[in-house]
Amino acid sequence: MVKKWWKEAVIYQIYPRSFMDSNGDGIGDLKGITSRLDYLKYLGVDVIWLSPIYQSPNDDNGYDISDYRNIMDEFGTMEDFDEMLEQAHERGIRIVMDLVVNHTSDEHEWFMESRKSKDNPYRDYYIWREGKEDGSAPNNWGACFGGSAWEHDDETDMYYLHLFTKKQPDLNWENPKVREEVFDMMTWWCDKGIDGFRMDVISMISKTAEMPDGEVKDIYGNPNPYCINGPRVHEYLQEMNEKVLSKYDIMTVGETPAVTTELAKQYAGEDTHELNMVFQFEHVEGDGKYGKWTDKKVPLIQLKKIMSKWQTELYGKAWNSLFWDNHDQPRAVSRFGDDSPEYREVSAKMLATCLHMMQGSPYIYQGEELGMTNYPFRSQEEFRDIESVNAIKEWCDSGVVSMEDFWPCLLKKSRDNARTPVQWDDTENAGFTTGTPWIGVNPNYTEINAKAETADENSVFHYYKKLIALRKQNPVMVYGKYELLLEDSEELFVYTRTLEEEKLLVVCSFSDKETVFEIPDEFVGKACLIANRENAYDKKRVVLKPYEAFVLR
Ligand code: GLC
Ligand code: CA
């Protein structure tokens, strides 16, 4: 397998709004990030993925960009950015920018021009269509955050497409001028010295030209397959690669909803000249009761099946990202582990072991290294996220589901769970801000915080630190071949990784009960690389405690 620095890297995702506030306005900012770089250096991460920091009216917290070459006022200035980049580089940490180019904000200059008239030079930067004869939307596509994907614009009496909120109009990638603008902007950032791009919903940039109705699911017609993995997406990415990416030693990761392993080999193949890796969602999806909303846990057997498929099918052919959570997902320990006081720490460590020992580049979402948990929402008013707010309207206010039924789903899956401030210490507001935080701070910060965990050798933090260090010393963690054992176990996730003479056995219990495990003969008496509990692994039969995890080599 070809060796690459980004395959060996551990990536840490920062959601700037909630990371660290430097000036007391309650909103995280760039200076705040700079002030915590030493913490990240100590943890040992190689790369920061920075969620969007560009000018934005914040309809979707920065994923609606109104100016790609300026910094959001709330986050600071371009000088603050340059300083942060320099300080990160001094510590050997690279910075990967979020690139949101499926859509812009409706307050972007291009869109403000585009909507003015049918013959405006920017008209074709976006996707405009006439309504149907009765004046209704051009087709039945639904937007990802609820409602129709079409918004009527009075100015010219036409509809524009927005696969997300109506303040996020989709760019028209068919227009070569749009592609040129995007590539120029990317080049501008690369020349500034950034280290790569995480490409937001990049699998959605090409839409089927005829735009047929989708199959009706829930309330609206599902746009897939007409605007996900669309007909020209690979052509666009190859063009981007040729004109921009290939000129720099950068890391590129495509957020690719609805990607299959087959398609991943094209998006992120070893020699397809598109992206370095995909970021796919199969293991965190498909459990939905109402659209994406549910309060159920995916059964372990199903989870293993999905993850193993990605492990084996991409081996030697393409590269994947490894993650349990991010800014769009609930907290890992609350979703896949057990966030009760008794098991929070062990289960967070177990999940980390399970993920970091797999093939792919691991991502740590801010606070995950502390075992931060979901937020105990008490009322609707506490939600900030447009997706959650819209979901309440779409599912409850419309009478499809009662609030009583929907509430547990919101608690479990709202994106706001991941967006509460990072818990730095046990002072007011968890040390995140001296002002009023823009979103609630999880009250458990008095127990769970970075100050306490960096001081405690046995903390979740130190466990992550150790896993990251192990990755640097054990190429088998990066390049080894994966094989699943005990496929049918409902409690244990067990697999091996093999690279020439080196072999690892990874054993993770997802159960809150004791389980018996028989160590395969070839591993009996082997050294333990890491474990989250006190136990002896030198005999064949081990009784595993709840959420126990260990790795033998
Ligand atoms: C991606 C982002 C998400 C955002 C959406 C629209 O899925 O991760 O936060 O809301 O794209 O840009
Ligand atoms: Ca601030």
Write the pLDDT tens digit of every residue in 385-425: 999 999 999 899 989 999 999 999 999 999 999 999 999 99
∠ CA 366-199-13, nearest 5°, is 10
Strands (E), 385-429: none
The tokens describing 477, both together, are 């963690």
CA angle, residues 208, 209, 213, in degrees to nearest 5: 65
Per-residue buried b or exposed e for 212-237, using 16+ beta carbons within 10 Å of the residue's own CB: eebeeeeebbebbebbbbbeebbebb
Query: Exposed, middle or buried, 203 (CB in 10 Å: 0-12/13-18/19+)?
Result: buried
255 part of the active site: yes
Count structural domains, the chain: 4
Work out whether strand 196-199 and strand 216-217 pair parallel, antiparallel, or are unpaired: unpaired
Helix axis angle, 344-356 to 460-473, nearest 10°: 20
CB-based contact 387:415 (threshold 8 Å): yes
Q: State the distance from the centre of ligand 2 to the C-alpha of 202, rounded, in angstroms.
A: 30
| Residues framing ligand 1 (Cβ under 6 A) | 60, 63, 100, 164, 200-201, 255, 327-328
For residue 280 the two structure tokens come to 């796919």
Which pLDDT belongs to residue 224? 79
Residue 324 sits in the same domain as residue 456: yes
Our CA angle for 345, 348, 349, nearest 5°, is 85
Tokens matching residue 397: 């206010």
Q: Are residues 227 and 254 in the same domain?
A: yes
Domain coverage including residue 447: 5-104+176-378+416-467
Q: Is residue 167 part of a domain?
A: no
Q: What is the pLDDT confidence band of residue 182, given thresholds at 50, 70 and 90? A: very high
What is the CA(507)–ligand 1 centre distance, in A?
A: 34
535 and 452 housed in the same domain: no
Instruction: Say yes or no: 234 and 245 in one domain.
Output: yes
From 14, 200, 228, 279, give the residue whose CB has the most ligand 1 atoms within 8 Å, as the site to mutate: 200
Cα-to-centroid distance, 57 and ligand 1 (Å): 15
Are 133 and 202 in the same domain? Answer: no
Distance CA 217, CA 202 (A): 23
Closest-approaching ligand to the CA atom of 205: 1
Which residue is associated with the tokens 């996730």? 493
Atom of ligand 1 nearest to the CA of 64: 12
**Predicted model pTM:** 0.97
Is a pLDDT exceeding 80 seen at residue 172?
yes
pLDDT at 48: 98
Atom of ligand 1 nearest to the CA of 328: 9
Q: Which of 80, 200, 274, 368 is catalytic?
A: 200
pLDDT, residue 223, reads 78
Ligand nearest to the CA of 165: 1
The closest residue, in CA terms, to atom 9 on ligand 1 is: 328
For the CA of 102, the closest atom of ligand 1 is 12
CATH of the domain at 510: 2.60.40.1180
Cα 168 from chain centre: 19
Q: What is the dihedral of CA 519, 522, 528, 529, to 10 degrees?
A: -120
Q: Whose CA is nearest to atom 6 of ligand 1?
A: 63
| 534 pLDDT above the threshold of 70 | yes
Q: What percent of the chain has pLDDT over 90?
A: 95
Instruction: Take residue 140 and report the two structure tokens written for it.
Output: 């039945």
Q: Please check whether residues 211 and 330 belong to one and the same domain.
A: yes
- Asked whether the beta carbons of 6 and 251 are under 8 A apart, the reply is yes
* Distance between CA atoms of residues 171 and 158, nearest Å: 16
DSSP assignment letter at 405 = H
Closest by Cα among 162, 164, 201, 146 to 389: 146
Task: Give the Å distance between the CA of 387 and the centre of ligand 1.
Answer: 10
For the segment 222-255, what is each residue's pLDDT rounded down to a tens digit? 777 899 999 999 999 999 999 999 999 999 999 9
Which residue's alpha carbon is at the smallest distance from atom 2 of ligand 1?
Answer: 200
Listed in sequence order, the DSSP H helices in 91-175 are: 109-114
| Inside any domain, residue 244 | yes
* Structure confidence at residue 218 (pLDDT): 66
Give the Å distance between the CA of 280 and the centre of ligand 1.
Answer: 13
| Structure token digits, residue 479 | 């390049």
Q: Bigger pLDDT: 217 or 329? A: 329
User: Rounded to the nearest whole angstrom, what is the distance from the C-alpha of residue 20 to the centroid of ligand 2?
Assistant: 8
Q: What number does the ligand 1 atom closest to the CA of 415 have?
A: 9
Evaluate if residue 322 carries a pLDDT over 80. yes
437-496: pLDDT as tens digits: 999 999 999 999 999 999 999 999 999 999 999 999 999 999 999 999 999 999 999 999
Q: How many CB atoms lie within 10 A of CB 191?
A: 10
For the CA of 326, the closest atom of ligand 1 is: 8
CA proximity to 143, closest of 67, 64, 88: 64
Does the CA dihedral 16-22-27-29 come out positive or negative? negative
- Pair (328, 394) in one structural domain: no
The length of the chain in residues reads 553
pLDDT above 80 for 132: yes
* Ligand number, closest to the Cα atom of 72: 2
Indicate if 496 and 423 belong to the same structural domain.
no
Under 8 Å between Cβ of 94 and 100:
no
* Residue bearing the CA closest to ligand 1, atom 12: 63
474 is a domain residue: no
Radius of gyration of the chain (CA): 23
Q: Which of 14, 49, 60, 227 to mutate to test the pocket of ligand 1 (most atoms within 8 A of CB)?
A: 60
Q: What pLDDT shows up at residue 291?
A: 84
Query: What are the CA-CA distances from residue 462 to residues 88, 216, 298, 399, 473 (Å)?
Result: 21, 48, 28, 47, 17
Q: Which of 60, 255, 328, 491 is catalytic?
A: 255
Residues 121, 200, single domain; the answer is no
Q: What average pLDDT does this structure show over 527-543?
A: 96
For range 516-539, the mean pLDDT:
97
